[in-house]
Structure 1
Amino acid sequence: MGGLTMSDDFDAIIIGAGMSGMYQLLRLRQLGMRVRVFETGTGVGGTWYWNRYPGARFDSESYSYGFSFSPELLQEWSWSEHFAPQPETLRYLNHVADRFDLRRDIQFNSRVASAVYREATRDWAVTLDDGSVHAARFLITAVGPLSAATLPNIEGRDSFQGQSFHTYYWPHEPVDFVGKRVAVIGTGATGVQTIQEVAKTAAQLTVFQRRPNWCAPLHNRPITDEEQVQIKASYPDIFRRCEETFACFLHTGDPRGTFEVTAEVREAFLERLYSEPGFGIWVGLFRDMLIDPAANAIVSDFIARKIRSRVKDQAVAEKLIPTDHGFGTRRVPLETRYYEVYNQPNVTLVDIKETPIERITPSGIRTSNADYAFDIIVFATGFDALTGSFDRIDIRGEGGVTLKQKWSGGAQTLMGMLVEGFPNLLMLLGPHTALGNIPRSIEYNVDWVSRLLAFMQQHGQRHVAARPEAVAAWMTHVMECGEGLLSNQVDSWFTGVNSNVEGKQTRVIARYSGSAPDYRAWCERIAADGYPELVLD
């Protein structure tokens, strides 16, 4: 080991102490395993630890988002809003960590630099940034699909002398915008939430839009005392509903076709969805609106008319309406008076397709036609999604092959949880798992992995690997699920495209596009048959 000391071995090492890592730790403890979690941050929470930008909140209903595994936890925790803000979600996850005494097995301030599978000892050697090396039979990644933040490739980016930060790395201390000249680069889900809040107090907010996104109203509000009682009495029904729907949300698609109903019925249907809270306007559409271009044009036109009605300056409104993709084919940001922000005298929209950013200067931003002075620059420029968080760790399997090499032409997995040639590596929310309402996917993945490890314990097995023919069959299924989807014809993190990351300019199928029930059925069949798709010994 090159003179490095080897720590005591563990049965399993988990990378990350977000929702996946926390729940997986709890389940492995129940199996009697010796577990260590390595977490880069100073606290638990993952996404909700890092993303402290103003306006951060989830857009799944709070009561459908929290953990479902503990009836006691469900009854003792009360969400304050239908869509909880980041500080409340972080308090919740700290409450979970306290309640189940999770911190004693978590090592904070510990970034995993590399993880190497050692064929001689059939275990994983995990090296931290500080040079310490730790060994475990199983390596479980809980690194999250949206945790590798990316900054834009803009000349002079580090020369700016004011405050600047990516939304993911938001400072832990409050940032004051009062009287400040602020730039926000990016108008994805994160940018939209940030812009709404910054516009309330900044002296001047300039939004640099790389490409507009279709946004829809969140319709958030506090949960009343009466609703709280009803929610706590309804948890079994709530989670049963999440299990049944396509993407584990409380909303699911309408079985009718767009052109099976009259124009009046269509309009009334879309008006109803637009006025309701949450993702219904995205995942509750007519069955063909995300696969048929003509049907998609109907909903896109509807949302475009809403934007024009909410933004007073029609030239600005047109800049906010996407022309390169239809509604719902990229991630739909949910907003609260986002479009009205552009009616404020302190807010300016700069379309950087028209006037590109040439460089960041010590005092601000230079575009092709103007120099702007700023006190604060916010980069709402997203993530190297799905595979990026894996790419940032040097993970090496059999024969010293890196995971990045293995996935150079696009990720290949078995159910998003195993990779051929990487024995005893188990991934939570890896590429090709059923995303959607993320905690529902997390709990399923963790439970499936835990059942596999329990099965191996019962049969005296210490080694698990994915069979190549099983990976091939799964990937064929993944490709078939993606056929005909308009979203797979668009550049977005859904299709693994990120203009800020070298080698991520080509579309790949990086996610599972089928329904969550179909995904679970595939996983359950493998488990029920005794895991024939896996080599267990």
Structure 2
Amino acid sequence: MSATATEASAPTQTYDALVIGAGMSGLYQLIRLRELGLNARVLEAGTGVGGTWYWNRYPGCRFDSESYSYGFSFDKDLLQEWSWSEHFAPQPETERYLNRVADKYDLRRDIRFRARVTFAHWDEASLTWTVGTEDGNRYRTRFLITAIGALSAPTMPTFPGIEDFKGQSFHTGLWPKEPVDFTGKRVAVIGTGASGVQTIQEVAKTAAQLTVFQRTPNWCAPLHNGKITPEEMAAIRARYDEIFARCNETFSCFLHTPDPRGTFEVTEEERNAFLEKLYGERGFGIWVGNFKDMLTNRQANRVISDFVANKIRQRVKDPKVAELLIPKNHGFGTRRVPLETRYYEVYNQPNVLLVDSKATPIERITPTGIRTSDAEYAFDIIIYATGFDALRGAFDRIDFRGKDGVTLKELWKDGATSLVGMLQDGFPNMFMLLGPHTALGNIPRSIEFNVDWVTALLRHMQAHGLKRAEATPEAVETWMEHVMEVAQGLLSMEVDSWMTGVNINVAGRQVRRVARYTGSAPTYRGWANGIAERGYEGVALR
């Protein structure tokens, strides 16, 4: 009998808590569940830990949050033991870091790998969830915790003929573990979002010919990465308390936060000097540390957009190519800003061609390459940097059914809802660590807060003999009113992007919605902590 058949006939396994996903959220949640004395198991689709940093192995993949602001803050010893090699660490280093965490806490003994969850159904009579995986195994649990990530459901474009291509093809979010050699190859990259930008920079170094198919250009800013010397690392270790305190007080948990001045409260000379300073500094400062009105005032946004557009014109030699790379349908910062290292200079290379696939759309993938409305191109490798079904896509790919058999996908068909991104009415004892309308930004800072909040709720339930927790519809409605309120006036809400729930590659994702929490992280934490401090007001406990 095959292993799969044996597993399919295995009896249902019972746990106090099941966690879906062994990325940063799942690893930290497992540590906290053990502290509660709960019998817990993590179900992970991959063969190793790391989540985002396991699946995304594409060339050039790395942090765009400073490394020392990204790692876990809860383990003081690990902070002193671990050395980051660069200000923005590459993917292999981050994967090693998360494996170090798994080793230190012996987490793998409670993780089942190659266990992709396909369904999770609530049973009111027994107050348990039944969870099934692709291999036919079944699990029963009192508490279900989703650690499935906000950007973890890769999407392919809808071009006909994708399966016909005879060469190699990869999605950046499903990159193989084996190295891919581009030397002497004809390579296509479809997409110029964050992963596309990082990939293009690297592939251009060795490919015989790189053709970039760009539908919507993005505003990019320099990363200014660099090595961290042993002396710098020692200084960083001495400042960890200060670094994480800073992250906890800023708008998006980055080391950067909006400048208190308005764009037009300073002279033109001061304004230009400030923008030059931000453009020359590391990281997201030019996006999240700019003038306070940059993302709400149309005239202020035009100033920064013109500034960055002129930088692109200076860096790209061919004026026609430069204009193609300058966004015309959205202002700087109103979509996610990719950070780059000599990305624009790539287009000065003789082996790189930029194709405007909005003017000449891709019609189909052929056995030998790509056909657009005006040309046919031959390739050895096609890379799909076409992103993810963000925020709710990973939820839609699992058949979640709550009370009365209601599916989460059906409940969210007109837009996701939640209570502080962690609970949903109609889905008792299900906790979402990065659910819709969680404060995002520097993700690990959100992860640690949300895991600790869920853990505190479980501890409260233990202490009071409570078996069932569910957000009330009234609390969800109140929270969603707040989510809508803080989104008012943001220029980003006028733009199609994953941040507004729009994805041209996913059916039903063409309508712009408030898809994320756009208020500050401190405000978000205040809401969530207020719920706990008022005895979990808005959470029906029994």
Q: Secondary structure at the match of 2:382?
A: strand
Q: Secondary structure at the match of 1:342?
A: helix
> Does structure 2 conserve the Cα–Cα contact (< 8 Å) formed by 1:199 and 1:346?
yes
In the other structure, the counterpart of 2:506 is 501
**Distance in 2 between the 1:436 and 1:47 partners?**
15
> Does structure 1 conserve the Cα–Cα contact (< 8 Å) formed by 2:154 and 2:171?
yes
In the other structure, the counterpart of 1:15 is 20
In the other structure, the counterpart of 1:464 is 469
- Larger displacement relative to structure 2 (79-88 or 220-229): 220-229
Q: Alignment identity in percent?
A: 69
In the other structure, the counterpart of 2:239 is 234
> Does structure 2 conserve the Cα–Cα contact (< 8 Å) formed by 1:156 and 1:359?
yes
2:273 aligned with 1:268 = yes
Question: Could you list the per-position Cα deviations for residues 168-213 of structure 1 after superposition, in whole angstroms to 9, with x for gaps in the alignment?
Answer: 1111100000000000000000000000000000000000001000
In the other structure, the counterpart of 2:495 is 490
Q: Secondary structure at the match of 2:371?
A: strand
2:152 aligned with 1:160 = no
Cα deviation, residue 405, structure 1: 0.4
Q: Secondary structure at the match of 2:13?
A: coil
Question: Could you list the per-position Cα deviations for residues 51-75 of structure 1 after superposition, in whole angstroms to 9, with x for gaps in the alignment?
Answer: 0000000100000000000000100
- One-letter code of the match for 1:271? E
Question: Could you list the per-position Cα deviations for residues 480-522 of structure 1 after superposition, in whole angstroms to 9, with x for gaps in the alignment?
Answer: 0100001111100001110000001001111000000000000
> Does structure 2 conserve the Cα–Cα contact (< 8 Å) formed by 1:4 and 1:133?
no
Q: Secondary structure at the match of 1:378?
A: strand
> Does structure 1 conserve the Cα–Cα contact (< 8 Å) formed by 2:400 and 2:408?
yes
In the other structure, the counterpart of 1:91 is 96
What is the correspondence of 1:44-55 to structure 2 with a 5 Å cutoff? 44-55=49-60
Q: Secondary structure at the match of 1:298?
A: helix
- Of 135, 138, 156, the residue aligned with 1:151 is 156
Taking only aligned residues, the RMSD between alpha carbons, in angstroms, comes to 0.8
Cα deviation, residue 471, structure 1: 0.4
2:432 aligned with 1:422 = no
In the other structure, the counterpart of 1:278 is 283
2:457 aligned with 1:452 = yes
2:365 aligned with 1:369 = no
- Larger displacement relative to structure 2 (223-232 or 105-114): 223-232
- One-letter code of the match for 2:130? A
- Of 337, 350, 374, the residue aligned with 2:355 is 350
- Of 337, 342, 365, the residue aligned with 1:337 is 342
In the other structure, the counterpart of 2:138 is 133
- Of 394, 415, 439, the residue aligned with 2:444 is 439
- One-letter code of the match for 2:369? G
Cα deviation, residue 8, structure 1: 3.0
> Does structure 2 conserve the Cα–Cα contact (< 8 Å) formed by 1:148 and 1:383?
yes
Cα deviation, residue 5, structure 1: 5.1
- Of 172, 193, 204, the residue aligned with 2:177 is 172
Cα deviation, residue 351, structure 1: 0.4
Q: Secondary structure at the match of 1:139?
A: strand
In the other structure, the counterpart of 1:35 is 40
**Distance in 1 between the 2:388 and 2:462 partners?**
37
Question: Could you list the per-position Cα deviations for residues 224-261 of structure 1 after superposition, in whole angstroms to 9, with x for gaps in the alignment?
Answer: 12111100000000000000000000001001111111
In the other structure, the counterpart of 1:255 is 260
**Distance in 1 between the 2:321 and 2:75 partners?**
49
Cα deviation, residue 263, structure 1: 1.1
- One-letter code of the match for 2:531? I
**Distance in 2 between the 1:361 and 1:146 partners?**
29
> Does structure 2 conserve the Cα–Cα contact (< 8 Å) formed by 1:6 and 1:135?
no
In the other structure, the counterpart of 1:245 is 250
2:137 aligned with 1:105 = no
> Does structure 1 conserve the Cα–Cα contact (< 8 Å) formed by 2:166 and 2:367?
yes
2:270 aligned with 1:294 = no
> Does structure 1 conserve the Cα–Cα contact (< 8 Å) formed by 2:18 and 2:143?
yes
In the other structure, the counterpart of 2:207 is 202
Q: Secondary structure at the match of 1:124?
A: strand
- One-letter code of the match for 1:529? R
Cα deviation, residue 220, structure 1: 0.1
The total of aligned residue pairs comes to 535
Question: Could you list the per-position Cα deviations for residues 93-115 of structure 1 after superposition, in whole angstroms to 9, with x for gaps in the alignment?
Answer: 00000001000000000000000
What is the correspondence of 1:73-84 to structure 2 with a 5 Å cutoff? 73-84=78-89
- Of 181, 189, 194, the residue aligned with 2:186 is 181
**Distance in 2 between the 1:531 and 1:5 partners?**
39
- Of 317, 320, 333, the residue aligned with 1:315 is 320
**Distance in 2 between the 1:7 and 1:34 partners?**
15
**Distance in 2 between the 1:89 and 1:225 partners?**
18
> Does structure 1 conserve the Cα–Cα contact (< 8 Å) formed by 2:13 and 2:138?
no
In the other structure, the counterpart of 1:214 is 219
**Distance in 2 between the 1:528 and 1:69 partners?**
22
> Does structure 1 conserve the Cα–Cα contact (< 8 Å) formed by 2:389 and 2:503?
yes
- If the length of structure 1 is used for normalisation, what is the TM-score? 0.99
- One-letter code of the match for 1:207? V
Cα deviation, residue 6, structure 1: 3.9
Cα deviation, residue 132, structure 1: 1.5
Q: Which runs of 5+ in 2 are unaligned?
A: 1-7
- If the length of structure 2 is used for normalisation, what is the TM-score? 0.98
**Distance in 2 between the 1:467 and 1:156 partners?**
47
